[in-house]
Amino acid sequence: MSSSVQLFRDQKYHELKGQCTQQRRLFEDPEFPASDESLFYQSASRRKVEWKRPKDLCEDPHLFVNGISSHDLHQGTLGNCWFVAACSCLALRKTLWQQVIPDFKEQEWDPKNPEKYAGIFRFRFWCFGEWTEVVVDDLLPTMDGKLIYCHSNVKNEFWSALLEKAYAKLAGSYEALDGGSAADAIVDFTGAVAESIDLVQGKYGEIISEQMKLFEDLLKVHKRGGLISCYIAASSGSASEVETEMGLIIGHAYSVTAIRKLHLGERLIFSFKAEKLFMIRLRNPWGKREWNGAWSDSSEEWKKVSNSERKSLGLTLENDGEFWMTFEDWCKNFTDVDICRIVNTSYFSIHKTWEKKMMHGAWAKNSEPLLNRSGGCFDNKETFLQNPQYIFDVKKTEDKVLVSLQQEDRRKYKKEGKGDSIPIGFEILKVEDNRSYRLHRLTVQERVATSPYINMRTVFLKRILKQGRYVLIPTTYHPGIATKFILRLFTDVPSKLRELKADKPKMTCWSLLCGYPRRVTQIKIHSAEGLQKQDRSGGADPYVLIKCENQKARSPVQHDTTSAIFNTQVIFYRKNIDSPVIVQVWNSNILCDQFLGQAVLAASPSDPREEQTLQLRGRGGRAAAEVPGRITIKVFSSDDLVEL
C-alpha cells in the first residue's frame, strides 16, 4: 500500500481519539450522525431505529473473537448481500483485510484499560485509485436490542458491523448500499482488477473445453490471492431472492471460498487410479440456505471420499451457508462470476510481475469539437475521436495486455437520483509507430480490441497485442455525458502509457525561426513482394525504413522471406512540402545491412489515397533504374494539420 493515505472528510483518527480520551467521552461522529439521514437517502423505517454502542448490546465486546473468518458475518435486513459476500472473500486473505482494518490490535477493546476506549474506529478503502481512511463512531442501528444490518454469528464480535458502517458513510447512507456488485466492494477493499464473465453467454455450462480453461484460470487467481464471487441473475420481470429447486437464491451474491481438484478412488505410489473431480466451494452471506444437489452437505457422494480427503477439504456437514458443488454444476446453475485479480507488480516475486500504469481522466462536454471530451462510443462517427485518448507501446513481439476502465462510484449521487452507473467501454486502435498527437480521422488505423459496453463501474479486457504503438480511447456509450474515470494498464514490459493532449505540433519561438509544419502525411506500408534473394536458402530478412526531411521510422524485421507483410504505419509533420518521402527496403545482416530498393513519393494532398503497388528502384529520384521487388503502400496527405 502507498504510504500516502487520504483522509475522508479530513478526519484524523489519532487526533479525534486523543481529544475523546482526554475529555473522557466517547466519540460521536458529526459527519455521519446517529440519525435517519445516515440510514436513508429517500425512504424511512416504519419502526423506530435505536442507535446503540456495542457495550449496550453485550457485556464483553470485541472487534474480533478468535480471529477473522468468512463464517463470521451475516447479512441483515439491508439488500447488500454483495457487500457481505465481498467481506467473506476478504476474510480469507489476512494480508488484504489488514489493509482495510489497519492496526486492528490497537483498535481492539482493552478490558485491562477501559479508559483508553473512545468509541472510534478507522477503516481504509481503495477509492478511485487512492487509499482513503474513513473514521466512524461505534453507534450502530438496532431494533429490539439487535443489530439490524450486517452482524457476526458471535454476539460480541463487531468488525463486520463497523466495517459496514464505514462503507455506508463513504456511500452517503446505509440505504445507498441496497443493491450493488461484490466485485465493486472487493475492488474497494483491495485495489484489485475486476473482470465480470457472463457464464451463459460464454456457454461455459455446455462447452467442456471452455469450462476447463475457466476452472484453471479461477484456480490460478484463487491460489495467487485473488477474490471471486458469483450470482444467478434474475431474468427480466422475475423476482430476486427466490429460491431455485436446487436451493440456490436468484439475484443473490455468493463468495467463492475454495477451488480444488478432488481425487476419488485408490492412490497408487506413482499415479492416481482415480476419478478426478473439479470442485468449487461457495458461501451464502445469509449463513444458511445451501445447494441441495450433488455433493451438497447431506449427499451420498461424500461417502466416496476418504476421511483424510474430507479433512483436507475442511468439510463441515452443517447448515452454515457454505457448501461444495462440482464446477460443471456451478457453470450450469450460476449466470455470472466476478473475478478480482490482485495483479502482482512486485519485482521480488516468483510469479509473473506486471508493469502497471494508472491514469486519472474525465469525460467533459464542450461545444468546441477540438475541446470536447465526451464523444460517445465508436458508433458516433462524428464525435468518437473527441474522447480522451491514451497512447502506449507494445515493445515485445507479442505482449499480453490487461486493461481496466473504472468510472467513479455513483452511489454518493443516489440522493440526487443519479446513482446508477453509466454504460462505458473502450476501443484500442493500432496507430502509426511515431504518432505523438491526437487522432482526428480514422484512415489506416486498425481496431484491434473493443471492450464490452456495460453499465457497470468497471470494464475489463485482456488481449495479446503485437509489437507497435496503440491508442486507447475510453468512452461513455452515449455522447455528451460528463463523469470521471481511472484507466489502468498492465503489460509485461513498460508501456509508457500517457494521454494525448495536443492536436498538432506546438507553435514556438524556435518554430518561427526554423519553420513550422505545413503538411501532415500518413503512410502505411502494407507489404513487399518479389524481393531479391539474399541467402542460400533463397530468403531474405527485410525491413522498411521511411524517411522524410530529418525524420525517419523503421519497421520490425521480417525473417526468411522475399514477400513480407509489414503493416507499418508512420506519420510526418512536414515543413518543406517539396521534400519527398522516401520508403526504402533493407535486408538485415549481422555486420552490414544491404539496400534492396526504394520508392520516392511526393505525398501531396492530390495524390491517390487508395492502396497502390509501386516498383522498387535504385538510389536516386523517381527515374532511377528498376530493381527486383514491389511495395504496397497507402498514403494520405493534408495541409490541415488536424485532419489526421
Chain segment 193-236, per-residue pLDDT in tens: 999 999 999 999 999 999 999 999 999 999 988 999 999 998 87
Domains of the chain: 6-190 (no CATH), 193-341 (3.90.70.10), 355-500 (2.60.120.380), 511-638 (2.60.40.150)
Angle at 498 between CA 494 and CA 500, to 5 degrees: 145
**The C-alpha cell of 327 is what?**
464446477
Go through the chain and tell me how many residues it has: 644
Cα–Cα distance measured from residue 30 to residue 34, given in angstroms and rounded to the nearest whole number: 9
Mean pLDDT of 370-389: 97
pLDDT of residue 597: 95
Angle at 557 between CA 556 and CA 559, to 5 degrees: 145
Cα–Cα distance measured from residue 624 to residue 618, given in angstroms and rounded to the nearest whole number: 6
Mean pLDDT of 480-487: 96
Judging by beta carbons within 10 Å of its beta carbon (0-12, 13-18, 19+), is residue 148 exposed, middle or buried? buried
SS3 276: strand
Cα–Cα distance measured from residue 26 to residue 587, given in angstroms and rounded to the nearest whole number: 79
170 or 68, greater pLDDT: 170
Look at residue 601 and tell me whether its pLDDT is greater than 60.
yes
Cα–Cα distance measured from residue 605 to residue 644, given in angstroms and rounded to the nearest whole number: 12
Q: Which residues are catalytic?
A: 81, 252, 284
Are the CB atoms for 232 and 251 separated by under 8 Å? yes
pLDDT of residue 527: 96
Look at residue 44 and tell me whether its pLDDT is greater than 80.
no
Q: How confident is the model at residue 444 (pLDDT cuts 50, 70, 90)?
A: confident
**The C-alpha cell of 184 is what?**
465493486
pLDDT of residue 324: 93
Residue whose C-alpha cell is 490471492: 225
Cα–Cα distance measured from residue 629 to residue 87, given in angstroms and rounded to the nearest whole number: 65
Cα–Cα distance measured from residue 494 to residue 355, given in angstroms and rounded to the nearest whole number: 6
Q: Which of 588, 595, 587 is nearest to 627 (CA)?
A: 595
**The C-alpha cell of 299 is what?**
449427499
Q: Which of 535, 522, 542 is nearest to 584 (CA)?
A: 542
pLDDT of residue 347: 72
Look at residue 238 and tell me whether its pLDDT is greater than 70.
no
Query: Is the pTM higher than 0.75?
Result: yes
